[in-house]
Structure 1
Amino acid sequence: MHDISSLKVIDLLLDAVCIVQADSRIVFVSAAFERIFGYTPQEVVGRRMLDMLHPEDQAATQGQVASIMAGDLQLQFENRYLRKDGRIAHILWTARWLPDRQVRLAVAHDITERKQHETRQAALYAISEAAHAAQNLESLFEHIHGIIGRLVVATNFSVVLRDPTNGELRYAYHANAHAAAPSAPRCSDSRCAEVVRTASTLLITPDARHGVSAPVPPADMASQARYWLGVPLRSESGVIGVLVLQSYGEEGGYTSTDQELLQFVSTQVATAIERKQTHERLQQMAQFDALTRLPNRMVLMDRLQIALARARRDGTLVSLLFVDLDDFKRVNDSLGHAMGDLLLQRVAGRLQGCVRASDTVARLGGDEFVVLLESGRQKEHARTVAQKVLAAFAHPFDLEGSVLHMHPSIGTALYPDDGGDAAALLGHADRSMYLSKQEGGNQVRGDAPLASEPAHGGTRFSA
């Protein structure tokens, strides 16, 4: 063994030469071992090499050791070790068993930088993929949380976004094992505000503050994490928010390396968030009425088709209420279109207050609304809801000081009695509504004539 250790040229190698016994106890390491693993040769001689191995790589590594002990020459085997400073070192090994000396001779090549680059590039790709695959922003944030968790410890992770209309910071995503999600979405953490204001990363450790220099008020530091890392989310429109990581001690602290990793992916994260926000805005515009925020005709028909399929399968009922405002034109003519729009918004609110969260209130256009009810097996359900609507409209509307009485004409349709498909049901409810309107309005009708017949009197549910 002394002839190997006496060759000082080994200490000039960038790779670490290691000699270990069969039980992985270290006999000799070259000088490069300290650069790669963080320990001096004096600190590790006599220790087991496997004790420094990353826990997740134990089984695979011991399998490779068994192969080497059987006489195989091991080339290009990768695993991970925990450095003295707690960071992970990625190692590419060449090793063989020397039976005459009963030791393993191995050369450790540090590929940490290469693996970090590969991991970063993979993270960028994964974030881009998540922006396309995620169904909504919440799902996107969950994906991003998982991706960042593969780069750094991200047990306690938050996304804080800036509201472009008023500049207020709000929690868009919050996962913290030590602190419950805020009861209100508004973020009052001055550190987040500082990161957004300065567009600079802020790393706070127990010993130092790295980044911007303004002090954090003592009140903000009370009961806070030992390590706090906030990275601005920059886009072409400016800083849209902050990625926040917190460590309370047991997860390990954050370093400048973690800061660099988070900064590396933050621009891609900001792009993904803006892309998903734009998609959701376009989806909202395509599916919901811009004035009342109610579902539009397209969404109503889609939900009606689903409800009918469920009703056919389960033998249940589906009801429609077609609601039209009586003499709405008078409001626009006398008070102006702005007051007319406000009235439609108030009407939407009252209609929603008459139904369950599982029901649908949609605006077809103008002053026409449709209520979709899955009525179970109760034929009277539509009539009951219609009575609630009439009662709700009995109270006048306050339009910024102008008190206005407005009443509805309501037509109903019931599946399967009044039609077997969406078009037939909607047509029946529409014709029934016109019967209600022809008889003076403020009532409910369900006895529509056939589409080819003129509307005429029928049985009135209520007046």
Structure 2
Amino acid sequence: MNAPPPDHDVEPPDDAWYKAALDESSDLVFVLRSDTTVVWCNAAISQVGFRKSEVVGRSIADFLHPDDLVRAAEVMALESAGVFTQSTKITPALYRTRTADGSWVHVEINGSTAPGDDHLLVVARLSGDLVIHDRLLESVTSDQPFENQVALVVELATWRHPTDGYAVSYFDDDGERRWYTANLPASLYDVSHPDEVAPWEVAVGAEPEVVPLGPALRATADEAGFVECLVAAVEDPAHPEGARLLIWTTRAGPTVSGHRYAMTNMHRALALVLQRRAHLSLLQRAVRIDQLTGVTSRTRLMELFDEADAQPSDEPHAVLYLDLDGFKGVNDSLGHMMGDRVLRGAAERLASVVPADTTLARMGGDEFVVLCPPGTCREAATDLAERIVGLFVEPLSIEGGDHADGHIEVPIGVSVGVAVGFPGQPVGSVLDAADQALFKAKGDGRGRWAASATG
């Protein structure tokens, strides 16, 4: 745009116009004296529950969190020293502001001064990138529900352009597609039309692209008031198809190019959320799964005991305590690496007979525990013990031997202790009884099972 000629007289609005414009702003606007007294604020102060009359005449320090006062005082001191000029603005920062009900909310604060004036104009935004990123970081690090984190990703765009439509497509822990949307009718997401490729199924990269719409979806979008669909792919370490970000533009909102910043912001945030979820999943698996054998870990088994004790059942629990016979000799003669392979082979063989509703866990070393579901009777428990003992009549075929097929036959046995508790009995004490029964089975000659007389 060309600048007006030098003799062109532009009449600026009067002070009343500026004041009215500031008063209508959705951001909180304050005018402070150098002594921090609020001399004016706009109507947006009602967003934190106050009336203007409750704020004007008081120090801004009355509304800031005590932990933020030192930082605020430093800023005011710099302002008084004349550091901030029209070309040097106060850097946006997060502060905690008190609300009328006594709670605290984060606000993004900007400030500026005019040369020769001892007043400071402060603009506080209850939303905005800094505020939402801070909330997202808190949500991620405190392990809040994944859906809450995705909602904050979308909020990074909706606070800027609240009239447009937004959707995030991702996969849950079970591999099912899930959606989080804002301002979108169901007909514009997760709905497929015959002979048309849905926007979230189009092969796109990390850079946002405007995807073509088929006739049916085009008609649906027109009816809902949407113009174009902007899509970007986000890598998900936990799922090969990844996630998708969709922005449906409206005539009232910005153009596609105006949305690219919001899309980039959302993309980075969602990538962080997905990576965090994948890392947590790996950590949880490491805790819940025995890393050597792949069966349930001792830690997870103890959690299951605690969960069972927290909700006592009217039906008894049955526990089998197993110990491999002759395993020490395997380690001594074949080495610990071969011993690890024997443990993995034994776990696979045990898993082949343990029912799906029953937990097989490794306690450590060559000891395993089977936790049966409530209501398992003594006959069913001893029958399972009998089958487990029978599994090890034949030796294990372990990879890494000198035979022509690269395997070695390792004879290994198993002894089993069985205990069935009484209703309401702590599962840990049933485990102790099974351990005592295991001691008896070994004393009777190994390669057999023994049952506790009582839980």
Which residue, 112, 128, 132 being the options, matches 1:123? Answer: 132
1:347 is aligned to 346
Write the distance in 1 (CA, Å) between the matches of 2:175 and 2:190: 16
1:34 is aligned to none
Relative distance call for 1:305 and 1:359 in structure 2 (3 A) is same
Instruction: Kindly provide the CA deviation profile for residues 74-125 of structure 1, in whole angstroms up to 9, marking residues without a partner as x.
Output: 97699xxxxxxxxxxxxxxxxxxxxxxxxxxxxxxxxxxx999934334323
Write the distance in 1 (CA, Å) between the matches of 2:362 and 2:288: 11
Conserved in 1, the CA contact under 8 Å of 2:317 and 2:430? Answer: no
Q: Which secondary structure does the structure 2 equivalent of 1:376 belong to? A: coil
Which residue, 409, 428, 443 being the options, matches 2:448? Answer: 443
Conserved in 2, the CA contact under 8 Å of 1:120 and 1:265? Answer: no
Relative distance call for 1:122 and 1:381 in structure 2 (3 A) is farther
Relative distance call for 1:190 and 1:404 in structure 2 (3 A) is farther
Q: Which secondary structure does the structure 2 equivalent of 1:371 belong to? A: strand
Q: Is 1:244 matched up with 2:244? A: yes
- TM-align CA RMSD: 4.9
Write the distance in 1 (CA, Å) between the matches of 2:175 and 2:366: 37
Write the distance in 1 (CA, Å) between the matches of 2:379 and 2:345: 27
**Which one is further off, 361-370 or 440-449?**
440-449
Output aligned runs, 1:44-443, within 5 Å. 118-134=127-143, 139-140=145-146, 142-150=147-155, 151=157, 153-155=165-167, 157-158=169-170, 174-175=178-179, 177-178=190-191, 191-192=204-205, 195=206, 201-206=207-212, 227-230=229-232, 243-246=243-246, 255-311=256-312, 314-376=313-375, 378-394=377-393, 396-400=395-399, 401-416=407-422, 420-443=425-448
Cα drift, residue 10 of structure 1: 11
Conserved in 1, the CA contact under 8 Å of 2:150 and 2:270? Answer: no
Write the distance in 1 (CA, Å) between the matches of 2:332 and 2:272: 46
Cα drift, residue 288 of structure 1: 3.8
Amino acid at match of 2:302: M
Cα drift, residue 379 of structure 1: 2.8
Cα drift, residue 366 of structure 1: 0.6
Write the distance in 2 (CA, Å) between the matches of 1:227 and 1:177: 14
Conserved in 1, the CA contact under 8 Å of 2:293 and 2:344? Answer: yes
Relative distance call for 1:179 and 1:342 in structure 2 (3 A) is farther
1:53 is aligned to none
Conserved in 2, the CA contact under 8 Å of 1:323 and 1:410? Answer: yes
Write the distance in 2 (CA, Å) between the matches of 1:159 and 1:262: 20
Conserved in 1, the CA contact under 8 Å of 2:204 and 2:231? Answer: no
Write the distance in 1 (CA, Å) between the matches of 2:385 and 2:236: 51
Conserved in 2, the CA contact under 8 Å of 1:397 and 1:406? Answer: yes
Conserved in 2, the CA contact under 8 Å of 1:204 and 1:228? Answer: yes
Cα drift, residue 273 of structure 1: 4.0
Amino acid at match of 1:259: R
Cα drift, residue 13 of structure 1: 6.5
Cα drift, residue 275 of structure 1: 4.1
**Which one is further off, 403-412 or 265-274?**
265-274
Cα drift, residue 381 of structure 1: 2.5
Relative distance call for 1:350 and 1:307 in structure 2 (3 A) is farther
Write the distance in 1 (CA, Å) between the matches of 2:262 and 2:417: 61
Relative distance call for 1:309 and 1:317 in structure 2 (3 A) is farther
Conserved in 1, the CA contact under 8 Å of 2:317 and 2:427? Answer: no
Relative distance call for 1:267 and 1:115 in structure 2 (3 A) is farther
Write the distance in 2 (CA, Å) between the matches of 1:436 and 1:177: 59
Write the distance in 1 (CA, Å) between the matches of 2:389 and 2:308: 25
Write the distance in 2 (CA, Å) between the matches of 1:391 and 1:188: 52
Conserved in 2, the CA contact under 8 Å of 1:203 and 1:259? Answer: no
Q: Which secondary structure does the structure 2 equivalent of 1:177 belong to? A: coil
Amino acid at match of 1:430: D
Superposition TM-score, scaled by structure 1 size:
0.52
Relative distance call for 1:345 and 1:116 in structure 2 (3 A) is farther
Amino acid at match of 2:150: H
Amino acid at match of 1:360: T
Conserved in 1, the CA contact under 8 Å of 2:249 and 2:255? Answer: no
Write the distance in 2 (CA, Å) between the matches of 1:315 and 1:337: 44
Conserved in 1, the CA contact under 8 Å of 2:440 and 2:450? Answer: yes
Relative distance call for 1:241 and 1:123 in structure 2 (3 A) is farther
Relative distance call for 1:431 and 1:378 in structure 2 (3 A) is closer
Superposition TM-score, scaled by structure 2 size:
0.53
Write the distance in 2 (CA, Å) between the matches of 1:372 and 1:365: 15
**Which one is further off, 321-330 or 293-302?**
293-302
Identity %: 23
Q: Which secondary structure does the structure 1 equivalent of 2:321 belong to? A: strand
Cα drift, residue 422 of structure 1: 4.1
Write the distance in 2 (CA, Å) between the matches of 1:76 and 1:309: 49
**Which one is further off, 268-277 or 342-351?**
268-277
Relative distance call for 1:286 and 1:439 in structure 2 (3 A) is same
Conserved in 1, the CA contact under 8 Å of 2:396 and 2:411? Answer: yes
Instruction: Kindly provide the CA deviation profile for residues 188-222 of structure 1, in whole angstroms up to 9, marking residues without a partner as x.
Output: 97534xx4xxxxx2323449xxxxxxxxxxxxxxx
Amino acid at match of 1:336: G
Amino acid at match of 2:204: R
Write the distance in 2 (CA, Å) between the matches of 1:256 and 1:249: 11
Cα drift, residue 380 of structure 1: 1.9
Cα drift, residue 278 of structure 1: 4.1
Write the distance in 2 (CA, Å) between the matches of 1:321 and 1:160: 35
| Equivalences, count | 303
Conserved in 2, the CA contact under 8 Å of 1:408 and 1:443? Answer: yes
**Structure 1 unmatched ranges of 5 or more:** 1-8, 18-73, 79-113, 162-169, 181-186, 196-200, 208-225, 451-463
Conserved in 1, the CA contact under 8 Å of 2:415 and 2:438? Answer: yes
